[in-house]
Amino acid sequence: MAKHRVDGGRGRRPGVVKSTKRGGPGRGFWLALGLVVVLGIGLLGYLASRPKVTATTIDPNLPPMKAEGYLLGSPTAPVEVIEFADFECPGCGQFSTVTEPDVRTKLINTGKIRIRYIDYPLPMHRNTWDASLAAACANDQGKFWELHDLIFQNQDRWNGEATSRPRSVLADLAKSIGLDMSKYDDCMKSEKYRAKVQSHLQEAERRGVNQTPTFIIGDKKVPGAIPYDTFKKLVDDELAKAPAAADTAKGAATPAAAPATDSGKAKVGGR
């Protein structure tokens, strides 16, 4: 009798069905799509929550002024650092309260540098102009730096997120440092120093400053609330150039020293 062979198929085991490859996108596609969705939601949240920028109108009728800022330290210090800052800027507040005490103690008080503060009121900060005017009025009485320090230390009391009436808080700070409040109030009501603050704003724009704080240290423009070690390294680089600069200037006439502050009183102190 002939033998009948049951062929299970070449290369296949009986009862095994070959799977059919499914069409459509794979797992990697769906992971990538999910990532795009998450990033998109995050971007929409940021755009919805970020501060709205409002334009600052420059008053063409104000008299042009030289942007002198406010000087702290010896006028004869070999290096001058210019700081462009906004009183309402959180990064500026961080630098003022965290880093600047070391800058004053180790670099300003030792005669290595002087620092020139130039306020740069940014348009997204609605209360910053009042703070700049208050500091300028305090400078009238020789106490710019005292109020400068308190304004930054109490930023969360008077900024745009805390109040729509910052002047009352700023007046309390002014009173606490012993200002003649009658003179201070008159200065604020008349906005006596609006042209001065405007000149500082225009100087920042002229120098291409687009972030606060920004520091000009020698030929370097350094944005951000840099830590003390970075600040000192930049200063040390400039101090290393100072002897060569002094040799070049030998025999030249020495100009009269500028006053240490607008009020003519030097103040080289900590907080």
Q: pLDDT tens-digit profile of 206-265? A: 999 999 999 999 999 999 999 999 999 999 999 998 765 444 434 443 444 444 444 433
Mean pLDDT across 168-172 = 98
Task: Compute the distance between CA of residue 271 and CA of residue 148 in angstroms, rounded to an integer.
Answer: 10
Tokens at 256, concatenated: 């009269």
| pLDDT surpasses 50 at 123 | yes
State residue 249's pLDDT score. Answer: 39
Rounded Cα–Cα distance for residues 251 and 118 (Å): 32
Residue tagged 């103690």 (tokens): 105
Tell me the sheet residues that pair with 116: 71, 82
pLDDT at residue 109 tops 60: yes
Work out the burial of residue 228: count CB atoms within 10 Å of its CB; fewer than 13 is exposed, 13-18 middle, 19 or more buried: middle
Residue in the block written with tokens 């700081």: 83
pLDDT classification of 48: cutoffs 50, 70, 90:
very low
Q: Of all residues in the chain, what percent carry a pLDDT higher than 90?
A: 63
Would the pTM count as exceeding 0.85? no
